[in-house]
Chains A and B, each alone.
Chain A
Amino acid sequence: MSEEQDKDKELLGKQKDDSVKAESSTAEKAEAAASQALDPEKGSSASVPGQPDQQEAKAAGDERILPESGEAHEQSVVSEQPAANPEREAKLKAAAEARAARAELKVSAATPSQQQSDAPAEEGSSPAVNPEREAKMKAAAEARAARAAAKAAAEGGEPAAAPGDAVGSDPEREAKQKAAAEARAARAAAKAASEAAEAPAEPKPPSPKQPQLDETVELVRSLISEQAVEEAYINELNDHMPIIVVGRDHWQATANLLRTHDRLQYGYLRNVSGIDFETHMEVVYHLVSIETKRELAVKLRADREAPSVPSATPVWATANWNEREIYDLLGVDFPGHPDMRRIMMPDEWVGHPLRKDYEPLDPEV
Chain B
Amino acid sequence: MIRTEELLLNVGPQHPSTHGVFRIIVKLDGEVIKEAIPVMGYLHRGTEKLAENLNYTQIIPYTDRMDYVSAMTSNYVLCHAVETLMGLEIPERADFMRLIVMELQRVASHLVWWGTYLLDIGAMSPFLYAFRDREIIIDLFNELCGARLTYNYMRVGGVKWDAPEGWIDKVREFIPYMETKLVEYDNLVSGNEIFLARIKNVGQYDAQTAIDYGLSGANLRCTGVDWDLRKVKPYSLYNRFEFDVPLGKRGDCFDRYLIRLEEIRQSLRILKQAVEQFPSSGDTMGKVPRVIRPPAGEVYVSIESPRGEIGCHIVSKGKAEPYRLKFRRPSFVNLQILPKLLVGETMTNLITILGGIDIVVGEVDC
- Is A237 interfacial (CB-CB < 8 Å)? yes
Nearest-CB distance from A28 to chain B (Å)?
30
Of the stretches B99-107, B111-119, B132-140, B295-303, the one at the interface is B295-303
- Is B309 interfacial (CB-CB < 8 Å)? yes
Looking at B48, B309, B333, which has the most chain A CB atoms within 10 Å of its CB? B333
Nearest-CB distance from B74 to chain A (Å)?
16
Cβ A318 vs Cβ B44 within 8 A: no
Q: How far is the CA of A276 from the CA of B52 in the complex (A)?
A: 12
**Chain A interface size range:** 20 to 34
Nearest-CB distance from B166 to chain A (Å)?
38
Cβ B212 vs Cβ A316 within 8 A: yes
Which B residues from 303 to 317 make CB contacts under 8 A with A? Answer: 309, 311, 313, 315
Chain A residues within 8 Å of B333, by CB:
318, 321-322
Cβ A290 vs Cβ B227 within 8 A: yes
Q: How far is the CA of A270 from the CA of B333 in the complex (A)?
A: 9
Nearest-CB distance from A134 to chain B (Å)?
39
Of the stretches A13-21, A54-62, A342-350, the one at the interface is A342-350
Chain B residues within 8 Å of A297, by CB:
300
Q: How far is the CA of A273 from the CA of B323 in the complex (A)?
A: 13
Which A residues from 211 to 264 make CB contacts under 8 A with B? Answer: 235, 237-239, 241
Contact of A273 among B233, B297, B313 (CB under 8 A): B313
Smallest CB gap from B210: residue in A: A268
Cβ B40 vs Cβ A344 within 8 A: yes
- Is A120 interfacial (CB-CB < 8 Å)? no
The contact string, 1 if C-beta is below 8 Å from chain A, for chain B 142-173, is 00000000000000000000000000000000
Nearest-CB distance from B343 to chain A (Å)?
15
Known: A275-B324, A354-B48. Contact between A238 and B332, CB under 8 A? Answer: no
Contact of B297 among A237, A271, A284 (CB under 8 A): A237
Chain B residues within 8 Å of A5, by CB:
none
Cβ A268 vs Cβ B300 within 8 A: no
Smallest CB gap from A259: residue in B: B212
Cβ B41 vs Cβ A276 within 8 A: no
Cβ B297 vs Cβ A346 within 8 A: no
Contact of B300 among A241, A269, A346 (CB under 8 A): A241
The contact string, 1 if C-beta is below 8 Å from chain B, for chain A 317-361, is 110111001000100000000000011111000000110000000
Chain B residues within 8 Å of A344, by CB:
40-41, 44, 365
Cβ A237 vs Cβ B85 within 8 A: yes
Cβ B326 vs Cβ A273 within 8 A: yes
Which A residues from 263 to 320 make CB contacts under 8 A with B? Answer: 267-271, 273-276, 284, 286, 290, 293, 297, 316-318, 320
Cβ A317 vs Cβ B85 within 8 A: no
Q: How far is the CA of A297 from the CA of B335 in the complex (A)?
A: 23
Cβ B214 vs Cβ A270 within 8 A: yes
Chain B residues within 8 Å of A343, by CB:
40-41
Nearest-CB distance from A292 to chain B (Å)?
11
Known: A238-B299, A271-B300, A353-B49. Contact between A276 and B324, CB under 8 A? Answer: yes
Nearest-CB distance from A273 to chain B (Å)?
4
Contact of B214 among A235, A241, A269, A329 (CB under 8 A): A269
Which B residues from 13 to 45 make CB contacts under 8 A with A? Answer: 40-41, 44
Chain A residues within 8 Å of B87, by CB:
237
Q: How far is the CA of A345 from the CA of B46 in the complex (A)?
A: 10
Smallest CB gap from B313: residue in A: A273
Looking at A293, A297, A325, which has the most chain B CB atoms within 10 Å of its CB? A325
Nearest-CB distance from A64 to chain B (Å)?
12
Cβ B297 vs Cβ A317 within 8 A: no
Chain B residues within 8 Å of A322, by CB:
333
Chain A residues within 8 Å of B297, by CB:
235, 237-238
Chain B residues within 8 Å of A353, by CB:
46, 49
Chain B residues within 8 Å of A273, by CB:
300, 313, 324, 326, 328
Known: A284-B313, A290-B211. Contact between A237 and B324, CB under 8 A? Answer: no
Which A residues from 52 to 106 make CB contacts under 8 A with B? Answer: none
Q: How far is the CA of A297 from the CA of B313 in the complex (A)?
A: 12
Nearest-CB distance from B229 to chain A (Å)?
10
Chain A residues within 8 Å of B233, by CB:
293
Q: How far is the CA of A293 from the CA of B229 in the complex (A)?
A: 11
- Is B225 interfacial (CB-CB < 8 Å)? yes
Q: How far is the CA of A353 from the CA of B41 in the complex (A)?
A: 13
Cβ B313 vs Cβ A271 within 8 A: yes
Nearest-CB distance from A118 to chain B (Å)?
39
Cβ B300 vs Cβ A318 within 8 A: no
- Is B349 interfacial (CB-CB < 8 Å)? no
Known: A235-B297, A237-B84, A344-B365. Contact between A318 and B41, CB under 8 A? Answer: no
Q: How far is the CA of A270 from the CA of B334 in the complex (A)?
A: 11
- Is B277 interfacial (CB-CB < 8 Å)? no
Chain A residues within 8 Å of B212, by CB:
267, 316-318
- Is B291 interfacial (CB-CB < 8 Å)? no
- Is B1 interfacial (CB-CB < 8 Å)? no
Chain B residues within 8 Å of A268, by CB:
211, 214, 227
Q: How far is the CA of A185 from the CA of B233 in the complex (A)?
A: 40
- Is B232 interfacial (CB-CB < 8 Å)? yes
Nearest-CB distance from B129 to chain A (Å)?
35
Cβ B315 vs Cβ A275 within 8 A: yes
Nearest-CB distance from A285 to chain B (Å)?
11
Nearest-CB distance from A17 to chain B (Å)?
43
Cβ B332 vs Cβ A290 within 8 A: no
Chain B residues within 8 Å of A290, by CB:
211, 225, 227
Known: A270-B302, A344-B40. Contact between A321 and B332, CB under 8 A? Answer: yes
Smallest CB gap from A346: residue in B: B41
Chain A residues within 8 Å of B239, by CB:
none
Q: A238-B297, A238-B298, A267-B212 are in contact. List 16 more A-B contacts (CB 8 A).
A: A235-B299, A237-B85, A237-B297, A238-B84, A270-B300, A275-B315, A275-B323, A275-B324, A286-B313, A290-B227, A317-B213, A317-B214, A321-B332, A343-B40, A344-B44, A354-B49
Could you list which residues of chain A lie within 8 angstroms of chain B, going by C-beta atoms? 235, 237-239, 241, 267-271, 273-276, 284, 286, 290, 293, 297, 316-318, 320-322, 325, 329, 342-346, 353-354
9 A-B pairs within 8 Å (CB atoms) are namely: A237-B85, A238-B297, A271-B302, A275-B326, A290-B227, A318-B336, A325-B332, A344-B44, A353-B49
Could you list which residues of chain B lie within 8 angstroms of chain A, going by C-beta atoms? 40-41, 44, 46, 48-49, 84-85, 87, 211-214, 225, 227, 232-233, 295, 297-302, 309, 311, 313, 315, 323-324, 326, 328, 332-333, 335-336, 365
Give 6 closest A-B pairs by Cβ, nearest first: A318-B214, A344-B41, A271-B328, A238-B299, A273-B326, A344-B44
